[in-house]
Amino acid sequence: MSGNQLTRRTFIKTAGATGVSVYVLWSGPGTGSWFGPRMVLAANLGVLNATEGKETLAMARQLFPHDKLGDEFYWVVVESIDRDMAGSPELASRLRDGLAQLNKAAGGDFTAVTAEVQLEAMKKLEGTPFFSDMLNKTQFYFYNNKAVWSKFGYEGSSWEKGGYINRGFNDVEWTQG
Amino acid sequence: MAAKYELNDESVIVVVGSGAGGGTLANELCQKGHKVVCLEAGNHLTWQDIVNDEFEMYGKLTWQDPRTGQPIWIVKAVGGSTLHWAGLSIRFKEYELKTRTTYGSVAGANLLDWPISLKELEPYYDKAETKMGVTGTQGFPRQPETNAFKVVQYCARKAGYSFEMGPSAINSVARDGRPACQMIGFCTSGCKSGAKWSTLYTEIPKADATGKFELRPNSMALQIQHDRQGKVTGVLYVDKSGTQQVQKARIVCVAGNSIESPRLLLNSASSLFKDGMANSSGQVGRNYMRHATQHVYATFEQPVNAHRGIHAPGIMRSEARHDPSRGFGGGYHLEIFDVGLPFTALSVVPGAWGRKVSSLIEQYDHMVAVWTCGEDLPQAEARVTLDNSIKDQYGLPVPNIAPVTDHPNDVELLKHARKTLETIYRAGKAKDIVWRAPFPNSHNMGTLRMSARPGDGVCNAWGQTHDIKNLFISDGSQFTSSGACNPTLTIVALAIRQADYVHEQMGAGAI
């Protein structure tokens, strides 16, 4: 039964993107399926209105602030959350209600107040299901974005480039002495 | 050359699980000419399924069936946790096999000596290291030093400590039909080159090649069946099409990891075995151990790029000793362990937000992490039971892992390890030093432990259950203590040893 799924072959040589080769041992037909989130920048939101979208963006920025990164990186989060909301009316209503609470806690308009007031407002909602959802989803969607990785020096998939055996796995030199 | 056995073939050995224990045992038995059917609950992943993406692989590898209690992480796939493990392969020390004798009576701990000595285990450790190509042993060269290693070793040296590269079951030279490591990273998301030992592409295809082996993936064992005399006769399982089947068996070997193995025995309760199978001692599910663990991160002025290369390149051994003057029994290894940015971002300060978190993540490429692998003392109430309030997709009660608190010995050990690491990092002029609580446990041990006396545990020194001669425990569930050692090497050594014993007992007509 296993034979047709995973044939043991000797060193199948797969050409990498950079012309470097990686030796791999095993191969098979496979049907690689995609479990992770897809990061497609969409122009429109399905559930959140434009104001709510901006509020979500502002909150995402305060949850994980990276001053050197533009709003486009945080829009990915907003769009992903919007997509999750489209798939769950329960989530949609919880998050919309939460955003309303957030505005209230900020004195009316979360996007119009200073960062200090925003933080105070967020602290008031910490621990609520709305806040936990926003925290977890922002963390996941923001840091699981390949465009963000390179900003922090993470190089992502490496096997197709032959790993790091010839690309700096041991290039630290300041540890001498 | 896969075999195909009839469901009513009573001469086969059924192995439940295809990871370090089950995969190794199955191959060893096939090599000796025995007929083996391996029931594996998970998918049979192919090379194309393995990608360098942490969350995508998390989705493919994780055992996601419902369970309750404390969070743990195990793999559901052909190869089991050998797909996920980082490769570190450390032998138990003699005192770690004799904790009751060495540590004495410790309040709140259910200590017991293994019914096996290091001397008896050593030849099997040799065989396991040879099979797996463990670097720094058996003449296998060590890996070249990685960035993360160089940085940690730099700090350690300044503080008067020392790390070593490996020992890792990751090829440092091409051998056994597999290449040398390419320093891809992503070891714990499935090794794309096959340099890391995993039963998926070592033991299982080798078993296949004997023509004696039938692997049935997507086949979840539900219950072990027995006759009136109490001998096991077969395994009820759900096959890949969702149909219930019974595979008859001469012998059944259970290797479903320390959560699913006791669960299977508990779900096999019958009128003859009211408290679950092989449970006359009442120890089935008890003495669950993980390790005493924590992560300590440090950031530096200069770049590190720890993601380039092996996830767990090296260890520090000098605190892995029993020295009660430190205020606790047993010891710990410090193990360099770095993961990719997605996992680091989620785990560096769990549940926290704001600038203190984001500023750490901005230093991702200037960061290293070291993990503590400390001995976890067995507690009788740390146990796996059935949670009858929730049923899984097969209608079976799910496992509950009792949310016990750390034994005070674990707490003291972790404090000591943290202090040691902070000393090391400070000596290397680290900027920020950040402690974090453990990840969900992926080292799972105990729950069907070995014991000399049948009243103290579930199986004997060969993993054979005290109650039922033709029922074996073949995974980390057998462990009587956790040691301070990543469990896989010992699981493999025990599986090789068990295969010898089963072969000999079958030859003698005893089982």
pLDDT grade, residue B441 (50/70/90)?
Answer: confident
pLDDT score of B428 more than 70: yes
A77 is a domain residue: yes
pLDDT score of A32 more than 50: no
**Rounded to 5°, angle at Cα B190 from B187 and B194:** 85
Which chain A residue's Cα is nearest to B428? A175
Q: Are B406 and B292 in contact (CB under 8 A)?
A: yes
A126 is a domain residue: yes
Nearest by Cα to A131 from A45, A37, A59, A65: A59
pLDDT score of B385 more than 60: yes
The whole-angstrom distance between B349's CA and the closest CA on chain A is 11
pLDDT score of A30 more than 70: no
A10 is a domain residue: no
A29 is a domain residue: no
User: CA torsion sign, B421 to B423 to B425 to B427?
Assistant: negative
Asked if A22 lies within 8 A of B204 by C-beta distance, the reply is no
Asked if B346 lies within 8 A of A143 by C-beta distance, the reply is yes
Please compute the mean of the pLDDT values over residues B68-84 and round it to a whole number: 95
Pick the CATH number of B13-507 from 3.40.50.11890, 3.40.50.2300, 3.40.50.300, 3.50.50.60: 3.50.50.60
Residue among A5, A144, A168 minimizing CB distance to B46: A5
Mean pLDDT of chain B: 97
User: pLDDT, tens digit, for every residue of A120-174?
Assistant: 999 999 999 999 999 999 999 999 999 999 999 999 999 999 999 999 999 999 9
ipTM of the shown complex: 0.95
pLDDT grade, residue B349 (50/70/90)?
Answer: confident
Asked if A23 lies within 8 A of B193 by C-beta distance, the reply is yes
A163 is a domain residue: no
Nearest by Cα to A156 from B282, B243, B37, B57: B57
pLDDT score of B242 more than 70: yes
Confidence (pLDDT) at B437? 77
Domain containing A140 equals 70-152
Please compute the mean of the pLDDT values over residues B286-301 and round it to a whole number: 96
Chain B window 191-250: which residues touch A at a Cβ cutoff of 8 Å? 192-194, 200-201, 204-205, 208-209, 213-217
The whole-angstrom distance between A36's CA and the closest CA on chain B is 5
Question: DSSP per residue over B253-297, as a string?
Answer: EE-SHHHHHHHHHHTT--SSSTT-TT-TTS-TT-S-B--B--EEE
Candidates B353, B365, B425, B429: best to mutate against A (most CBs of A within 10 A) is B353
A174 is a domain residue: no
User: pLDDT, tens digit, for every residue of B37-64?
Assistant: 999 999 999 999 999 999 999 999 999 9
A158 is a domain residue: no
Question: If residue A95 lies in a helix (H) or strand (E), which one and from where to where?
Answer: helix A89-105
DSSP, collapsed to helix, strand or coil, labels residue B306 as coil
A165 is a domain residue: no
The whole-angstrom distance between B367's CA and the closest CA on chain A is 11
pLDDT grade, residue B404 (50/70/90)?
Answer: confident
Count of domains observed in chain A: 1
Where do the H-state alpha helices sit in A41-88?
50-63, 71-87
